[in-house]
Structure 1
Amino acid sequence: MSAASAHTAGILLLTLVAVAYGGAFVLRVTRGSVPATDFQHRSFRAGHAHAGVFVILGVLCQLLVDRAVLGPGAEVLARQGVPLAAILVPAAFFLSAAGRGRERPSRWILLLWPGVLCLTAGLVSLGVGLLRA
């Protein structure tokens, strides 16, 4: 494993502590300890789920990127695309639902699209690089 992969994977694994804390928050919402609308409840669950899945996928990508045949730009996309999506997509869900009694997403939901773009670019770059290897 390259130093860059180990460094990024280490950071991603440490962020799982924040994801676990987010899970505790979602559990408080689910149990009714934190008042939330149905929309907020669904958005918080979606944000938490996407964060966990994308962080683990980001760790997996770090293991694979060293085996891929990539140019410098494609390597950056393959290494950082999924981790950026792990920030942007959950942020879209959490921030768009923030606020007392919110029933519809705020403009923060627009963060979803750059997150999807990062996810797609990272996975396509890595997939093509692995097929070239």
Structure 2
Amino acid sequence: MHPVLVIVLGATLLTVSGIAFGGTFLLRVANGGVPTNDLQKSFFRAGHAHAGVLVTLGLVVAVTTHVAGASPGWAAAGSIAVLTSAILIPAGFFLSVLGANPARPGRMMASVWLGAASLTVGVVISGVAVLAAGISAL
């Protein structure tokens, strides 16, 4: 596994504590401890869910590409692109509804779209790298 990817994966594992803390924030929102409107509640839930799922997907992609024997450079590129989406998408959901009683999402929604592009690029790179490794092993 590429050393840069190993460092990224270690840092990613540490972010899980932050995602867990985000869960406690959502509990406070659900219990009315944090004043929010319906848009904020929905976006906070979406941000938290995407963070957990995309971090898990990024770790699975990294392990899968490594186990399949994909090129370390391509495996790292694909995995890091997926993990980048795990930052951009949740950030877009959380930051686009900051403020007192927003009526609609703000400009940070662009981060969700950038994250979606990063996710797409990452899974395509990783999928092709795994396929190439499998075909070359025949």
TM-score normalised per structure 2: 0.87
Alignment map for 1:1-133 (pairs within 5 Å): 1=1, 3-66=3-66, 67-70=68-71, 72=73, 74-133=74-133
1:67-99: per-residue Cα shift (whole Å, max 9, x none)? 353484x44431211110000000000000111
Structure 1's unaligned 5+ residue stretches are none
C-alpha contact (below 8 Å) 2:44/2:94 kept by paired residues: yes
**Secondary structure of the residue that 1:97 maps to in structure 2?**
coil
C-alpha contact (below 8 Å) 1:5/1:63 kept by paired residues: no
TM-score normalised per structure 1: 0.90
Provide the rounded CA distance (Å) in 2 between the counterparts of 1:53 and 1:20.
12
C-alpha deviation, 1:113, in angstroms: 1.2
C-alpha deviation, 1:17, in angstroms: 0.5
- Change over 3 Å in CA distance of 1:98–1:68 after alignment to 2: farther
C-alpha deviation, 1:64, in angstroms: 1.9
Aligned alpha-carbon RMSD (Å): 1.7
**Secondary structure of the residue that 1:126 maps to in structure 2?**
helix
* Amino acid in structure 2 at the alignment position of 1:42: S
